[in-house]
Amino acid sequence: MSEQVKVMEIENEKIKKLSVILREQKPLIHCITNHVTVNDCANILLAAGASPTMAHHPKEVEEVTQGCDSLVCNLGATDDYEAMLIAAKAADKSGHPIVIDPVGVGGFGFRREQFWKLTEVSHPACIRGNMSEIQALAHNKTIVTGVDAAKDGLTLSEKDRLVTEFSQKAGCIIVASGAIDIISDGTQCIHVSAGTPLMTKITGSGCMSSALIGAYLAVENSMEAVASACTIMGRCGELAEQATRKCQGGTMTFRMLLIDEMSKYV
């Protein structure tokens, strides 16, 4: 893919429409996520109008996920890989959207192996990670040490091409989060520039975004739904930052206000 990737915009009317439908339908989202962020993921879903269930045991996840509207698998939950495989098979069979958050695949080959196993038994609707994680999957190699994104040195157009090409390879929507979120369905991109650096100062902002994407995909399985979730998460972050500075709070205040702003957003 040598030509420049077409970049489209997500309209505010579309974002509002999907958000209203989400609150009306209250989709049930099954999240298998790591223990550090499980409470935040549940609360961000409740704040957005969805209903979370956080079942992790291999003996119950098949039954649970069959009754849900989408599944979110977070690879930070390394103790729950067996449960993810069972749940992914069940969600795939039921036709439910599956979101994979490849936390740490940029630094750990073990997690990359699990990612490929998940994609062998299911067809994810969306993969959402930071740019280092998406690069690591696209090239199937270690990029960083740990779970944080590294400076990649790529231009925005180079990132667009990388994300779009990986979307074609994976056969699903890809989100590479960062100062500008890049979302691609394999033919074009949407850029989302909403957000604040404060979101990198708390645990779980990425995990919460993945959970929120699962909720929006339950309403409409489309790139626009994914972009809507990313946009709203970023906008709520901006509003929470303003409120945090107004009350002279710190990062824990911001974390609380982020969920507050989500509960008020339509």
Edge-to-edge, what's the strand order for the sheet holding 51-53?
A: 6-8, 188-192, 181-184, 173-177, 126-130, 98-101, 70-74, 28-32, 51-53
Instruction: Write out pLDDT tens, residues 69-113.
Output: 999 999 999 999 999 999 999 999 999 999 999 999 988 999 999
Beta bridge partners of 130: 177
Give the chain's domain count: 1
78, part of any domain: yes
Beta bridge partners of 181: 192
Determine the pLDDT at residue 3: 67
Distance (Å, rounded) from C-alpha 183 to C-alpha 7?
A: 9
Mean pLDDT of the chain: 94
Residue 146 gets the label, from left (phi > 0), alpha (psi -120 to 50) or beta, of left
171, part of any domain: yes
Q: Calculate Rg over the CA atoms of the chain.
A: 17
237, part of any domain: no
Determine the pLDDT at residue 116: 95
253, part of any domain: no
160, part of any domain: yes
Cα separations in angstroms, 114 against 99, 103, 194: 14, 11, 31
Determine the pLDDT at residue 144: 65
H or E stretch including 168?
helix 156-170
* pLDDT classification of 153: cutoffs 50, 70, 90: confident
240, part of any domain: no
246, part of any domain: no
Q: Which domain holds residue 126?
A: 6-230
Determine the pLDDT at residue 140: 86
HSE (side-chain half, CA atoms, 13 Å) at 61: 25
Decide if pLDDT at 152 tops 80. Answer: no
Q: Residue 17: which CATH number?
A: 3.40.1190.20
Instruction: Write out pLDDT tens, residues 131-151.
Output: 999 999 999 888 765 555 556
118, part of any domain: yes
